[in-house]
């Protein structure tokens, strides 16, 4: 074969696992009995979407009482403010109504905020992964209610051997496939490169962000990752079978007319049965790829097409 310069790409290949972009547990902030689950395990929930309703008769009664007091004091204050403006009542009487109104308003707003917390909403858009309580159960503040995972974007977590860490940086492109999705290929960017090595595995942790609009990717799935290490646009590349390796070194045979010439070579990276030749071969050399293992330097040859 004629040696022609070509593009050579060397990849780092590692395996990783899928994890949710965000996974969080939602807990109760008020006490009460679970009245209903609006969303169930496995359901998709939008951010701020209602998931659970709590029933707290004591809190509801306090809220209604505070609301009535607030509305009454508001109406009274507005009337007294008009009278004060017309100099009908004293400033002290006006201030008494003003402070009463502000106190009732603060109490109402406080209980309103607490009452709204009996309507438990999701802090993120995602899928309910686990329920930790059931309808009818009485819960206290801090009780874990459900966990939710955000999977429209996922992270692929992997480890890069220390000998390759200089070739990977934030923003590096990663090509990813999954054995259980043989017809799907994904491309993402490295979003995190760990600053320290894992002492047991001698790898640096990395994370790759992937879009998962159709939610094909599930947490804990195994991923096959390829990250471009180097790309040469005009390189001398040969098939591995053309290379002869002995204790004395590595070499190939080229044809010059009807003579076989031995060429010592220095190799570089290899990928997918291709080897980069750094020294020893030049463009347009006639590389012998069949029958070369039985040759000696300077031997006459006959080339059969």
46 and 130 share one domain: yes
162 and 211 share one domain: yes
- Which CATH number characterizes residue 249's domain? 2.40.420.20
Whether the CB-CB separation of 219 and 149 falls below 8 Å is answered with: yes
- Which CATH number characterizes residue 72's domain? 1.10.287.470
Q: Report the 10 Å Cβ neighbour count for 212.
A: 18
Q: Can you give the pLDDT at residue 229?
A: 83
Q: Can you give the pLDDT at residue 265?
A: 92
pTM of this structure? 0.64
Question: Is 305 inside a domain boundary?
Answer: no
Q: 218-233 b/e with 16+ CB inside 10 Å = b?
A: eeebebebbbebeebe
Instruction: Name the burial class of residue 125, with classes exposed (0-12), middle (13-18) and buried (19+) by CB atoms within 10 angstroms of its CB.
Output: middle
Residue-wise pLDDT for 173-231, tens only, equals 999 999 999 989 999 999 999 999 998 999 999 999 998 888 889 889 999 999 988 88
The CB-based long-range contact list for 265-269 (8 Å cut-off, 24+ gap) reads: 267/243, 269/8, 269/10, 269/229, 269/230
Q: Report the 10 Å Cβ neighbour count for 248.
A: 7
Q: Report the alpha-carbon distance of residue 238 to residue 244 in Å, rounded.
A: 12
In three-state form (DSSP H/G/I as H, E/B as E, the rest C), the secondary structure along 144-200 is: EEEEEEEEEEEEEEEEEEHHHHHHCCCCCEEEEEECCEEEEEEEEEEEEECCCCECC
Whether the CB-CB separation of 289 and 242 falls below 8 Å is answered with: yes
- Number of domains composing the chain: 4
Would strands 32-37 and 138-139 be described as parallel, antiparallel, or unpaired? antiparallel
H helices of 8-121, in order, are: 57-85, 91-116
Q: Can you give the pLDDT at residue 88?
A: 87
Residue-wise pLDDT for 72-123, tens only, equals 999 999 999 999 888 888 999 999 999 999 999 999 999 999 999 999 999 9
Lowest mean pLDDT of 30-39, 138-147, 245-254, name the range: 245-254
Residue-wise pLDDT for 114-142, tens only, equals 999 999 999 999 999 999 999 999 999 99
Range of the domain at 274: 236-294
- Looking at 116, 140, 158, the residue that finishes a domain is 116
């Amino acid at each position: 074969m004629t040696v022609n310069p070509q593009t050579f790409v060397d990849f780092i290949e590692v395996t990783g696992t899928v994890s949710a972009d965000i996974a969080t547990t939602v807990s109760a902030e008020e006490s009460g009995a679970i009245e209903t689950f609006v969303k169930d395990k496995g359901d998709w929930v939008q951010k701020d979407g209602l998931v659970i309703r709590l029933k707290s008769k004591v809190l509801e009664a306090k809220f209604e009482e505070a609301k009535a007091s607030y509305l009454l004091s508001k109406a009274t204050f507005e009337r007294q403010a008009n009278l004060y403006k017309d100099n009908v009542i004293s400033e002290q009487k006006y201030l008494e109504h003003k402070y009463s109104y502000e106190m009732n308003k603060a109490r109402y707003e406080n209980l309103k905020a607490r009452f709204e917390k009996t309507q438990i909403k999701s802090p993120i858009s995602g899928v309910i992964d686990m329920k930790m309580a059931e309808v009818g159960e009485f819960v206290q503040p801090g009780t874990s209610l459900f966990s939710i995972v955000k999977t429209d974007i996922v992270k692929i977590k992997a480890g890069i051997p220390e000998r390759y860490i200089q070739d990977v940086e934030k923003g590096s492109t990663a090509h990813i496939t999954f054995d259980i999705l043989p017809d799907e290929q994904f491309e993402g960017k490295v979003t995190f490169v760990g600053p320290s090595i894992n002492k047991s595995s001698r790898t640096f942790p990395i994370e790759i962000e992937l879009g998962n609009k159709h939610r094909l990717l599930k947490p804990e799935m195994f991923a096959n990752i390829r990250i471009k290490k180097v790309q040469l646009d005009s390189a001398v590349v040969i098939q591995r079978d053309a290379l002869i390796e002995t204790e004395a070194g590595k070499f190939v045979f080229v044809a010059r007319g009807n003579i076989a010439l031995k060429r010592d070579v220095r190799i570089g990276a290899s990928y997918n049965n291709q080897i980069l030749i750094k020294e020893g071969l030049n463009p347009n050399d006639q590389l012998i790829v069949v029958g070369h293992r039985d040759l000696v330097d300077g031997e006459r040859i006959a080339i059969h097409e």
